[in-house]
Amino acid sequence: MLYVSIQELEAAINYWRSQSPAEGEELSLCPEASALAKPYALMIVQGAQRIPMDVLDELARTAIQTFSKTNQNK
């Protein structure tokens, strides 16, 4: 996967939120959802539909790849 679409990022964020719901009074996201939320927000602001995988940090790349592997098995 060279690019990740905004739809894939949104689905991955929702997947990670279901795996590890927000906690505490501040409702903090799990590390994976948080790592994906940053590029997702930038894409919304910039009006981008996809971004290269290599611009994601390591945690975000791992989170999207794990989601993609899990989603392929369904």
d(CA 18, CA 46): 27
CA distances from 43 to 7, 26, 38, 50, 67 (A): 11, 24, 9, 8, 19
**Number of domains comprising the chain:** 1
Task: Answer with the residue of higher pLDDT: 7 or 73.
Answer: 7
Tell me which residue range forms the domain holding 39.
Answer: 3-72
pLDDT tens digits, 17-62:
999 988 777 788 899 999 999 999 999 999 999 999 999 999 999 9
Q: Rounded to a whole number, what is the distance in angstroms from the first to the last CA of the chain? A: 18
Residues whose CB is less than 8 angstroms from the CB of residue 4 and which lie 6 or more positions away in sequence, other chains included: 50, 51, 53, 56, 64
- The per-residue pLDDT for 8 is 95
